[in-house]
């Protein structure tokens, strides 16, 4: 049995589920566990479940929660790591929740607890251990209920002058396009997020197009369109979903093309639930559109455009990586992360 002292645990706290993993220095998952978040039960209950998850992960390694050296939690919203505070996490219904101190009280022991944004830790996870391993420049785009992202330049997460970099989902691709949750029109998020896909599918069904999507959604019993329903409808050859999804892929392809013209990265990683499930079949058309929009066509396939390698482990792996970095005194990647969640 392994000595549990010095365990580093990364946690992905999503609106629907949470996922904790103990990760070693090489990025190997030593033990992991998932649980439902159930945010409707309130912050205390959710934090109790996070503590339980951490205890179970440590327990699987013959240790206890008090043996954990450091924890980083990827939160779907804005955090203030210096104060251990979740400023705002709409998917959880949280505002000004002192997550670090409440969790520390539940855990006992002296684990250091760090907070960061979920999309940013997922980008860092892909960079440290996934598609971006060994690269200096990487773009991460996470397509979920929204579209989030992150940018690695010279091997480090690029935060920008106000810590607001990486909001690729709000690059405007069509100024006359549909309204985005941010209030603008035609952002990538308004064209290609899962929420936008659902909106367009419903619109086509209302216009009389035949589709099995609503039936699939009913069978699944979840109020919103999920990645598994999208995948199932595409597999079944549902015409409405096929058409709507192709439009979303086109929009992401334009977004990637724009990003590459601006940044010229070594790799663009497409993550989030849809990419986790559909992999290359989602990314191939995106790549094709993106390549067509590269200004410099020479060596275009040197720019890798790939689906997430780590899938839903990207965030816990990245969170563990952040915890390890901060223990060694490296600067916090994002003290005031403001990006909304996009990867659950
Ligand atoms: Zn927007």
pLDDT for 159-202, tens place per residue? Answer: 999 988 999 999 999 999 999 999 999 999 999 999 999 999 99
Number of other residues whose CB lies within 10 A of the CB of residue 45: 12
For residue 1, tell me if it sits in a domain: no
**Residue 178 alpha carbon to ligand 1 centre in Å:** 10
**Residue 207 alpha carbon to ligand 1 centre in Å:** 26
| CA gap 281, 113 in Å, rounded | 38
Q: Is the pLDDT of residue 124 over 80?
A: yes
Mean pLDDT, rounded, for 113-130: 97
Query: Are 46 and 137 members of one domain?
Result: no
Query: Are 264 and 168 members of one domain?
Result: yes
pTM of the prediction?
A: 0.92
Query: Are 94 and 141 members of one domain?
Result: no
Query: Are 229 and 272 members of one domain?
Result: yes
**Residue 276 alpha carbon to ligand 1 centre in Å:** 23
Query: Are 177 and 264 members of one domain?
Result: yes
**Residue 184 alpha carbon to ligand 1 centre in Å:** 5
**Residue 187 alpha carbon to ligand 1 centre in Å:** 5
The CA–CA distances, whole Å, from 141 to 49, 101, 208, 239, 335 equal 29, 31, 33, 26, 21
Domain of 142 in residue numbering reads as 131-309
Query: Are 171 and 215 members of one domain?
Result: yes
For residue 335, tell me if it sits in a domain: no
**H helix runs in 130-238, sequence order:** 188-192, 194-206, 213-220, 227-235
Question: Where is average pLDDT lowest: 32-41, 91-100, 231-240, 322-331?
Answer: 322-331
Q: Which pLDDT score, from 0 to 100, does residue 75 have?
A: 97
Check if the beta carbon of residue 205 is closer than 8 Å to that of residue 158: no
At 89, which CATH number? 3.30.420.40
Query: Are 180 and 286 members of one domain?
Result: yes
For residue 124, tell me if it sits in a domain: no
**Residue 7 alpha carbon to ligand 1 centre in Å:** 39
The CA–CA distances, whole Å, from 217 to 201, 214, 221, 281 equal 12, 5, 6, 22
Domain count for the chain: 2
**Residue 271 alpha carbon to ligand 1 centre in Å:** 19
Query: Are 158 and 178 members of one domain?
Result: yes
Residues 288-313: tens digit of each pLDDT = 999 999 999 999 999 999 999 999 99
Query: Are 254 and 321 members of one domain?
Result: no
**Residue 196 alpha carbon to ligand 1 centre in Å:** 12
Report percent pLDDT > 90 for the chain: 90
Query: Are 296 and 149 members of one domain?
Result: yes
- How confident is residue 136, by pLDDT bands cut at 50, 70 and 90? very high
Query: Are 171 and 144 members of one domain?
Result: yes
């Amino acid at each position: 049995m392994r000595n549990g002292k010095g365990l580093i645990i990364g946690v992905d706290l999503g609106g629907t589920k949470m996922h904790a993993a103990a990760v070693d220095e090489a990025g190997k998952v030593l033990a992991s566990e998932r649980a439902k978040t159930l945010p409707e039960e309130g912050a205390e209950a959710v934090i109790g479940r996070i503590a339980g998850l951490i205890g179970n992960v440590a327990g699987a390694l013959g240790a206890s929660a008090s043996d954990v050296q450091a924890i980083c939690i990827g939160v779907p919203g804005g955090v203030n790591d210096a104060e251990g505070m979740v400023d705002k996490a709409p998917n959880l219904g949280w505002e000004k929740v002192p997550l670090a101190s409440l969790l520390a009280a539940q855990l006992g022991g002296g684990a250091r607890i760090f907070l960061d944004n979920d999309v940013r830790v997922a980008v860092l996870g892909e960079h440290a251990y996934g598609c971006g391993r060994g690269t200096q420049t990487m773009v991460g785009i996470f397509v979920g209920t929204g579209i989030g992202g992150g940018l690695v330049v010279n091997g480090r997460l690029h935060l920008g002058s106000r810590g607001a970099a990486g909001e690729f989902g709000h690059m405007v691709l069509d100024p006359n396009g549909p309204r985005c949750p941010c209030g603008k029109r035609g952002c990538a998020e308004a064209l290609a997020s899962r929420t936008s896909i659902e909106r367009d599918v419903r619109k086509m069904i209302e216009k009389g197009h035949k589709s099995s999507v609503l039936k699939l959604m009913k069978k699944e019993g979840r109020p919103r369109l999920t990645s598994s329903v999208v995948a199932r409808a595409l597999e079944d050859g549902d015409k409405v979903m096929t058409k709507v999804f192709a439009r979303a892929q086109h929009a992401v392809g334009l977004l990637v093309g724009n990003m590459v013209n601006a940044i010229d990265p070594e790799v663009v990683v497409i993550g989030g639930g849809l990419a986790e499930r559909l992999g290359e079949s989602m990314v191939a058309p995106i790549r094709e559109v993106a390549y067509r929009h590269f200004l410099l066509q020479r060596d275009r396939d040197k720019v890798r455009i790939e689906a997430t390698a780590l899938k839903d482990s990207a965030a816990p792996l990245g969170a563990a990586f952040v915890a390890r970095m901060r223990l060694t005194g490296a600067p916090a990647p994002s003290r005031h992360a403001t990006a909304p969640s996009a990867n659950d």
